[in-house]
Amino acid sequence: MRDQQPIGPAQRFTRRLGAALILVGLLPGAALTTTLDVTIDNLRSDRGELRLCLTADPKNFPGCIDDARAVTRSVPATMHKVHFDDLPYGSYAVAVIHDANGNNKLDTLLGIPREGFGFSRNPIIRFGPPRFSSARFDIGAAPDQQEIKMRYLL
């Protein structure tokens, strides 16, 4: 048998800390979280509000209407950066509308948006909103950033 050298207080502390961190990670509800910064560019004006919807549910993108876990924010259109804290690791998508007249909805004319809109990853827009998979991004240990370029059709 090899002779083992006694461990010191610093090594004992390091081992205990490592074991504690492993145990905390195994506890139910102890999800790892991170942050997200969303920057909004190409706004036509600073009037009204920006309405953001952050979701991990493909079925509720882009509206977030039936998604209890969606994170929604309404901020003045003068605020071009929005910060989200404590997001569990995973796949998300962001939708933004520029509610210039402040009526709490995206105004349309014959189905064509009259106000600005944008999505994470800035996917190509054909007919209607993009699919979740086109706007999806993954977040993990490192804080993430998304730059959304607003679009205006009318």
- Segment 94-117 shows an average pLDDT of 95
**Ramachandran bin of 35, using left for φ above 0, alpha for ψ from -120 to 50, beta for the remaining angles:** beta
Q: What is the pLDDT of residues 133-152, one digit of tens each?
A: 999 999 998 889 999 999 99
Three-class DSSP category at 13? helix
| pLDDT for the residue numbered 25 | 52
* pLDDT, tens digit, 9 for 90 and up, residues 35-54: 999 999 999 999 999 999 99
Task: Tell which residue, 85, 99, 100, has the closest CA to residue 54.
Answer: 85
What DSSP state is assigned to residue 64?
-
Q: Is the pLDDT of residue 21 over 70?
A: no
Radius of gyration in angstroms for the set of CA atoms belonging to the chain, rounded to a whole number = 22
What is the C-alpha to C-alpha distance for residues 55 and 52, in angstroms, rounded to an integer?
10
User: What is the pTM assigned to this prediction?
Assistant: 0.78
In contact, 117 and 98? CB cutoff 8 Å: yes
